[in-house]
């Protein structure tokens, strides 16, 4: 009875909820100030370890695209181009954006880069960092409770813990990460359209990304990112609205000119 009560008493721990920009309920156990501090610290350490690009053309290109997007978001942001051949960009809580030179080389135009940077900004806007850490905290709490209930020294307890550990990894943590990626795709699509970029280039971008990683990506159910075909299908589903948004932005005079 005590063990059952222990399980029930943990339910309030799992009710610290927020709502994402797309209306989804979220588990957030940390304050924005805490998460922002962690993001700023991580970015500072990264700048100390990772060389930054001195290429003026690349820096001007990235900052032009980021600036157009960030005008729709507001706030003070720091944008850094890192000398790294990998196809990557990221945004951290605390308004920090990093773009790798490998990604700059891959994209054909500003619209494609806007799709990636808009996606990364979407993660910050949706508080995915907070949610991700909160999920990890909740999983660890659940595993500790299960360990107490199933007496892990027994054969049954060991089996139960192994099964739940695997289930927690593929049933909770990774799918939520794929959900974050899909959500950031749509937020980024809308954001790039609001800034006047062509949202159709987001599809072209993910086709290129899929081709670049062909044969290297893990199966979707074991990946933290949706398969390229899945995210392209979701983007195309939301494209009509994004095109209407872009048209309204262009009528309002938003026509970014960023030269690669």
Would you call 120 a catalytic residue per the annotation? yes
List the catalytic residue out of 45, 78, 83, 120: 120
Distances in Å between the alpha carbon of 225 and those of 27, 32, 64, 175? 20, 25, 27, 9
- Annotated catalytic sites, by residue? 120
């Amino acid at each position: 009875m005590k063990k059952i009560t222990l399980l029930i008493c943990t339910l309030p721990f799992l009710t610290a909820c927020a709502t994402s920009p797309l209306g989804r309920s979220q588990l957030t156990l940390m304050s924005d100030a805490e998460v922002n501090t962690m993001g700023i610290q991580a970015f500072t350490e990264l700048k100390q370890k990772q060389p930054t690009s001195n290429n003026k053309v690349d820096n001007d290109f990235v900052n032009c695209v980021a600036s157009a997007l960030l005008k729709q978001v507001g706030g003070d942001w720091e944008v850094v181009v890192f000398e790294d051949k990998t196809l990557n960009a990221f945004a951290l809580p605390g308004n920090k954006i990093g773009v790798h030179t490998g990604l700059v080389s891959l994209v054909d135009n500003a619209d494609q880069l806007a799709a990636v940077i808009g996606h990364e900004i979407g993660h910050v806007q949706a508080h995915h960092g907070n949610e991700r850490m909160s999920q990890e905290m909740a999983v660890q709490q659940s595993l500790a409770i299960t360990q107490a209930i199933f007496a892990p020294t027994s054969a049954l307890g060991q089996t139960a813990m192994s099964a739940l550990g695997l289930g927690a990894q593929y049933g909770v943590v990774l799918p939520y990460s794929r959900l974050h990626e899909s959500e950031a795709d749509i937020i980024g699509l809308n954001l790039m359209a609001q800034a006047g970029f062509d949202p159709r280039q987001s599809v072209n971008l993910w086709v290129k990304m899929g081709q670049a990683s062909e044969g290297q990506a893990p199966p979707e159910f074991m990946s933290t990112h949706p398969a390229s075909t899945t995210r392209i299908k979701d983007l195309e589903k939301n494209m009509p609205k994004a095109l209407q948004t872009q048209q309204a932005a262009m009528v309002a005079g938003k026509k970014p000119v960023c030269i690669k």
